[in-house]
């Protein structure tokens, strides 16, 4: 069918459209037809554009300065007919490329798999029922409902719309949202002007609509141009770029040094060949070639650890930034609280009613002044409950003996409270069918529905008290008469409820005169009758209370930014233990969105720092708050779920979206998505972020001394005019084996104790502090002294050159091996973090020792690497030298722990 109609969907009259697609807007498709079409058209998924081919990725591994140097060395050695050396160098280059390729491909795959795990859902009508299905299961003919915040899941022809606006920038590049409406367009309307179509992967920024699927997967417009983000080949973050720049700079320094060494050597009468080999050894030894790969791998491991703790990273740089987070701005409902609402109190007709029962079970009773009452006795109460039931889109379903909510829990609580009074939705919607609705949008803070037969109508409204009360001109009494509205009393009652931490919703009604068929905001701006208030509890999450405490101990301030009432928000904040200043400072009062609007930018900077609770905040104000906090140097993580939260999420250092309740728009804008919507997962991600950063620093502190030591050994030998203690192929051996078997294992190092008792990382602080620089220098010099000393001692004792060099190589390998245990913690001693807490590292060490024995004793290895067997006495000295390194560094750590706690 696609072939005939490819260009004509926008032009078809609706009856023909439905006939053609064999569907109907009321019933949609049935499950049998869906299964059949799914087989015919395949899943609604766009095949990802192929990224760089594996062959190119493999060849790119050779595109590194160090590899060029090695290849030149291999070529020159083959010219000199040093076949063994040339073979070893070639072999090392290839093995290095294979390892790099496999590791990189694995990291890319892991991150890609995670981003795919964030599946999106679509609301459809199938067999006459509304339900949520994975977007991948949509088929042509499906009836899809759209609302603001949704990502359009397939190409749709719109059947009905209400103030629909869609951001089509993914398709057309035009960032201003376009208005859409149903209807028939002329045949020659261009794609960008087809206002009766909604295209896959564009974003609904406002309004609601219904449409029927006309194309899925690769048949959609976006699928055909296939411009979706190609697979993420490049794993770049600010840190990896910084390290790449550092490596580049180091390369020039080393090449300069190599040139000087070469000239000095030749001038002193050394042979060109010897000097060439010395220079190659210097370059190979001093360039930290394993560094970029280790950074990428450590970040990738961090990403998968975070995913296990329910935080999916969408943008890799977030892994680094998490460790430096100083402020977390969190929503209240659902993130800090359970989002399991139960109506407990109702104020109607001037009386207060208590509602018993808990959860979504519609079992409970109403009481007034301690006596049970029937809702029939109070007209205002009944109308208030009815308004809650009809002005409502949530559905409660009973599955496996448990009541589950489809839709907004706030609304579900209202279905339950109405159910406790005997009001049933099926019965009431038959009596008062819904004609139109203004959906809830957080900027208006109310929802309205129009019911009736077109002649005799009633409008029900529910929303925030500040939004509803000014529209009301009278109230409903217990006996059902309209009476004077006591605004002050209503506010007092609402504040009493809010003071107990209840979320308060106000209800009102309007009986419009004349036939109304459509509702507009203007229609409900005045003349409403106030019906009452319903107050519902939403208890704090226990994990959130614990996580807030951990954050505060870690020097991270937690702020609540909510659309809810200031008094409710403050009461919940008290229960959760939020305090603005972090160090037990008294909790400042909540700041209201209205007050916030009057603050100048400078005043807001001060207020943003000091206040812990921001209530009735409009989404645009979230952006101002993030900017104010950033202006005072904070690194801000901000949560958001709505369509209007996207700018704040983008501005925040870490935008956090909600995986369950969040809109697709907010997820697209976020750096991180929480799969459980829980505040404690942000805290977990921060903890992992700090761990990742620690492990990176550990790797760098471990790897650089080898490079420094090897470089120094070669320089010292050339300048002293003696034989090289280590040959280029031997340096290659050391760097290759230790980086993979020892250094990389630090990426698996568990988080250190007390990681959340330290202040956040200062992003301006260099990766390597002066203290760590000193440590690297000490180890580098000790390695130089150990290997050079042992080499000269062996020669003077009459050992062969091969044996002396084998001793020098072993000093490096075992020195690095012992030093690896120092590096497992930058501050604590090995005993306090546990000898066996990193099993990967122990395996690596075991394997390294075996390889080193092979290097020393296996004849084939002796031939390839010019090594020779050594005796027990030599081993004794090698181990003693390595042990000295270990002890010196532990003493240095101990001194630093005592003199400067809290560093590095
Ligand atoms: P957050 O998740 O940001 O902590 P919130 O969920 O309380 O806050 P909003 O959803 O913007 O914030 O709700 C703000 C106010 O709007 C609520 O206090 C309530 O009075 C009202 N409200 C919330 N949901 C609805 C709804 N479905 N219909 C009508 N009014 C609503």
Count CA atoms within 13 Å of residue 223 on its CB side: 16
In ligand 1, the atom with minimum distance to the C-alpha of 334 is 2
Distance 504 CA to ligand 1 centre (A): 9
CB 794 within 8 A of CB 874: yes
Q: Specify which residues 354 forms β-bridges with.
A: 345, 367
Nearest CA, atom 13, ligand 1? 563
Maximum Cα–Cα distance across the chain = 115
Contact present, 285 and 780 (Cβ < 8 Å): no
d(CA 820, CA 812) in angstroms, rounded, equals 12
Length of the chain: 904
CA 442 – ligand 1 centroid, Å: 6
Of 902, 326, 762, the closest CA to residue 582 belongs to 326
Pick the catalytic residue from 85, 142, 331, 393. 331
Half-sphere exposure of 411 (CA within 13 A, CB side): 20
CA proximity to 347, closest of 507, 162, 221 = 507
Query: What is the Cα Rg of the chain in Å?
Result: 35
Which residue shows structure tokens 């400072």?
585
Q: Are strands 591-592 and 613-615 parallel, antiparallel or unpaired?
A: parallel
For the CA of 563, the closest atom of ligand 1 is 12
DSSP lists the bridge partners of residue 327 as 557, 636
CA 504 to ligand 1: nearest atom: 20
Interatomic CA distance for residues 507 and 449, integer angstroms: 12
Question: For residue 389, which of 374, 368, 375 has the smallest C-alpha distance?
Answer: 375
Q: Whose CA is nearest to atom 12 of ligand 1?
A: 563
* Residue pair 148/206 in contact by the 8 Å Cβ criterion: yes
Instruction: Assess contact for 544 and 576: CB atoms under 8 A.
Output: yes
Closest atom of ligand 1 to 393 CA is: 27
Residue 581: predicted pLDDT: 47
CA atoms within 13 A on the CB side of 742: 31
Ligand 1, atom 7, lies closest to the CA of 564
Q: Whose CA is nearest to atom 14 of ligand 1?
A: 563
For the CA of 337, the closest atom of ligand 1 is 4
Q: Give the closest residue (by CA) to ligand 1 atom 19.
A: 464
Q: How far apart are CA 352 and CA 371, in angstroms?
A: 12
Peptide bond into 206 cis (omega under 30): no
What is the structure's pLDDT at 56?
81
Residue nearest to atom 26 of ligand 1 (CA): 440
Ligand 1 pocket mutation, candidates 407, 495, 505, criterion most atoms within 8 A of CB: 505
Separation of CA 793 from chain center: 56
Out of 405, 445, 656, give the residue to mutate to test ligand 1, the one with the largest number of ligand atoms within 8 Å of its CB.
Answer: 445
CB atoms within 10 A of CB 839: 10
Distance of CA 832 to the CA centre of its chain: 32
Q: Tokens representing 528?
A: 């409403």
Q: How far apart are CA 422 and CA 411, in angstroms?
A: 17
Span from the CA of 250 to the centroid of ligand 1 (angstroms): 56
Taking the CA of residue 465 as reference, the ligand 1 atom at the shortest distance is 20
Determine how many CB atoms are found less than 10 A away from the CB of residue 126: 18
CA of 197 relative to ligand 1 center, distance in Å: 31
Query: Are 857 and 869 a contacting pair, CB within 8 Å?
Result: yes
What is the 564 CA–ligand 1 centroid distance (Å)?
Answer: 6
Q: Which of 343, 391, 395, 442 to mutate to test the pocket of ligand 1 (most atoms within 8 A of CB)?
A: 442
What's the pTM value of the predicted model, to 2 decimals?
Answer: 0.82
Scan for tokens 């969907």, then name that residue.
Answer: 9
Q: Where are the alpha helices (DSSP H) in 289-446?
A: 291-308, 317-322, 379-390, 409-420, 425-431
SS3 content of the chain, % helix, strand, coil (to 5): 50, 15, 30
Angstrom distance (rounded) from CA 706 to CA 712: 10
CA 788 – CA 785 distance, rounded (Å): 5
Q: Residue 445 Cα, ligand 1 centroid: separation in angstroms?
A: 7
Decide the pairing of beta strands 654-658 and 672-674.
parallel
- Choosing from 334, 410, 459 the residue with most ligand 1 atoms within 8 A of its CB, the one to mutate for a pocket test is 410
Which pLDDT score is estimated for 674?
Answer: 93
> How far apart are alpha carbons 328 and 324 in whole angstroms?
11
Which atom of ligand 1 sits closest to the CA of residue 331?
4
Q: Which residues pair with 436 in a beta bridge?
A: 450
Task: Give residue 409 CA to ligand 1 midpoint distance, Å.
Answer: 11
Element (H, E) at 736: helix 728-741
Separation of CA 149 and ligand 1 centre (Å)? 16
- Ligand 1 contacts (CB < 6 A) are 331-333, 408, 410-411, 440, 442, 445-447, 462-464, 503, 505, 562-565
Token digits for 518?
């459509």
Ramachandran assignment for 207, one of left (phi > 0), alpha (psi -120 to 50 degrees), beta (any other): left
Inter-CA distances, 690 with 319, 422, 742, Å:
9, 54, 22
Q: For atom 20 of ligand 1, which residue has the closest CA?
A: 464
CA of 625 to the centre of ligand 1 (A): 19
Q: Whose CA is nearest to atom 16 of ligand 1?
A: 445
Encode 514-568 in three state secondary structure: CCCCCCCHHHHCCCEEEEEEEEEECCECHHHHHHHHHHHHCCCEEEEECCCCHHH
- Taking the C-alpha atoms of residue 828 and residue 810, their distance in angstroms, rounded to an integer, is 27
Q: Which two tokens stand for residue 864?
A: 């390839």
Residue 694 falls in the annotated catalytic set:
no
Structural tokens at position 269: 């009468």
Q: How far is the CA of 441 from the centre of ligand 1 (A)?
A: 9
Per-residue DSSP letters for 700-734?
Answer: HHHHHHHHHHHHHHHHHHHHHT---SS-HHHHHHH
3-class state of residue 432 by DSSP: coil
Residue whose token pair is 């760089």: 52
Going by CA atoms, what residue is nearest to atom 30 of ligand 1? Answer: 463
> What SS3 class is residue 123?
strand
pLDDT along the chain (904 residues), means of 10: 60 88 90 92 76 76 77 83 81 81 75 66 89 90 90 92 86 81 84 88 88 89 62 58 78 87 87 84 80 81 89 85 92 90 93 90 90 88 95 86 85 94 90 89 90 84 95 92 93 94 95 80 92 94 93 93 91 85 54 91 92 89 93 92 86 91 86 92 94 90 90 89 89 87 89 88 78 91 94 93 95 94 83 80 95 95 93 94 94 84 54
Å from CA of 565 to ligand 1 middle: 9
Ligand 1 atom 31: residue of nearest CA:
463
Report the nearest-CA residue for atom 2 of ligand 1: 333
Distance CA 194, CA 180 (A): 8
- The reported pLDDT for the residue numbered 116 is 62
* Ligand 1 atom closest to residue 442's alpha carbon, by position in its atom list: 11
């Amino acid at each position: 069918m696609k072939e005939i109609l490819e260009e004509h969907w926008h032009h078809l009259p609706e009856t023909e459209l439905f006939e053609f697609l064999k569907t109907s807007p009321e019933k949609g498709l049935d499950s049998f037809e869906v299964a059949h079409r799914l087989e015919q058209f395949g899943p609604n998924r766009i095949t990802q554009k192929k990224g760089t081919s594996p062959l190119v990725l493999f060849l790119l591994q050779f595109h590194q300065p160090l590899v060029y140097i090695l290849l030149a060395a291999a070529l020159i050695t083959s010219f000199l007919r040093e076949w063994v050396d040339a073979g070893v160098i070639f072999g090392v280059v290839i093995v290095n490329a294979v390892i790099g390729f496999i590791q990189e491909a694995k990291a890319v795959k892991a991150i890609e798999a995670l981003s795919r795990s964030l599946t999106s859902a679509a609301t459809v009508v199938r067999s006459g029922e509304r339900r949520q299905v994975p977007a991948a299961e949509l088929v042509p003919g499906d009836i899809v409902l759209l609302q603001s915040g949704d990502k359009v899941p397939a190409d749709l022809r719109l059947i009905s719309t209400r103030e629909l606006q869609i951001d089509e920038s993914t398709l057309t590049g035009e960032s201003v949202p376009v208005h859409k409406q149903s209807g028939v367009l002329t045949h020659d309307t261009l794609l960008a002007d087809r206002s009766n179509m909604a295209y896959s992967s564009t974003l609904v920024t406002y309004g609601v609509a219904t449409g029927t699927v006309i194309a899925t997967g690769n048949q959609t417009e976006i699928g055909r141009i296939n411009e979706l983000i190609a697979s993420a080949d490049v794993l770049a973050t600010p840190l990896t770029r910084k390290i790449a720049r550092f490596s580049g700079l180091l390369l020039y320094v080393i090449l300069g040094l190599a040139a000087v060494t070469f000239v000095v050597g030749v001038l002193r009468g050394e042979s060109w060949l010897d000097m060439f080999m010395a220079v190659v050894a210097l370059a190979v030894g001093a360039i930290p070639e394993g560094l970029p790969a280790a950074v990428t791998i450590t970040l990738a491991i961090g990403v998968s650890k975070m995913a296990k703790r329910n935080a999916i990273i969408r943008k890799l740089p977030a892994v680094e930034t998490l460790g430096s987070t100083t402020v977390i701005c969190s929503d209240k409902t659902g993130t800090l609280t359970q989002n399991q609402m139960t109506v407990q109190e109702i104020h109607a007709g001037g009386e207060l009613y208590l509602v018993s029962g808990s959860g979504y079970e519609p079992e409970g009773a109403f009481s007034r002044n301690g006596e049970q009452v029937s809702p029939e006795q109070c007209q205002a109460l009944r109308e208030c409950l009815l308004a809650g039931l009809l002005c409502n889109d949530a559905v409660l379903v009973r599955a496996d003996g448990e009541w589950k909510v489809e839709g907004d829990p706030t609304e579900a609580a209202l279905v339950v409270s109405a159910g406790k009074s005997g009001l049933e939705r099926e019965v009431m919607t038959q009596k008062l069918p819904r004609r139109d609705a203004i959906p809830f949008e957080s900027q208006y803070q109310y929802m309205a529905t129009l019911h009736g037969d077109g002649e005799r109508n009633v409008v029900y409204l529910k929303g925030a008290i500040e939004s509803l009360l000014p529209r009301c001109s009278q109230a409903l009494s217990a006996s059902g008469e309209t009476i004077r509205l006591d605004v002050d009393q209503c506010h007092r009652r609402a504040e009493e409820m809010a003071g107990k931490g209840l979320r308060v919703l106000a209800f009102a009604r309007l009986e419009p005169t004349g036939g109304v068929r459509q509702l507009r905001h203007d229609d409900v701006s005045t003349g409403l009758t106030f019906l009452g208030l319903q107050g519902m509890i939403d208890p704090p999450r226990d994990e959130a209370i614990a996580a807030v405490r951990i954050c505060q101990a870690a020097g991270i301030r937690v702020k609540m930014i909510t659309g809810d009432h200031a008094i409710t928000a403050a009461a919940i904040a008290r229960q959760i233990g939020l305090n603005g200043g972090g160090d037990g400072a008294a909790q400042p009062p909540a700041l209201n969105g209205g007050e916030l609007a009057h603050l100048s930018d400078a005043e807001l900077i001060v207020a943003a720092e000091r206040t812990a609770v921001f209530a009735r905040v409009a989404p645009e104000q979230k952006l101002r708050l993030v900017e104010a906090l950033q202006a005072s140097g904070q690194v801000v993580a901000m949560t958001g779920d709505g369509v209007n939260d996207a700018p704040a999420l983008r501005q925040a250092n870490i935008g956090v979206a909600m995986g369950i309740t969040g809109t697709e728009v907010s997820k697209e804008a976020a750096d991180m998505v929480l799969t459980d919507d829980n505040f404690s997962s942000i805290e977990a991600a921060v903890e992992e972020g700090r761990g990742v950063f620690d492990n990176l620093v550990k790797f760098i502190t471990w790897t650089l001394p080898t490079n420094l030591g090897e470089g120094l050994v070669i320089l010292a030998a050339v300048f002293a005019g003696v034989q090289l203690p280590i040959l280029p192929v031997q340096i290659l051996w050391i760097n290759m084996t230790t980086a993979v078997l020892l250094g990389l294992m630090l990426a698996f190092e568990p988080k250190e104790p007390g990681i959340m008792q330290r202040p956040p990382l200062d992003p301006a602080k260099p990766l390597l502090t002066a203290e760590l620089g000193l440590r690297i220098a000490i180890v580098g010099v000790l390695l130089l002294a150990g290997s050079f000393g042992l080499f000269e001692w062996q020669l003077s004792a009459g050992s062969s050159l091969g044996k002396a060099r084998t001793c020098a190589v072993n000093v490096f390998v075992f020195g690095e091996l012992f030093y690896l245990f120092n590096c497992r913690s930058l501050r604590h001693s090995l005993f306090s973090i546990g000898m066996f807490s990193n099993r990967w590292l122990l395996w690596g060490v075991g394997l390294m020792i075996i390889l080193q024995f092979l290097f020393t004793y296996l004849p084939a290895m002796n031939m390839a690497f010019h090594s020779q067997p050594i005796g027990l006495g030599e081993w004794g000295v090698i181990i003693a030298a390595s042990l000295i390194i270990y002890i010196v560094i532990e003493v240095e750590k101990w001194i630093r722990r005592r003199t400067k706690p809290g560093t590095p």
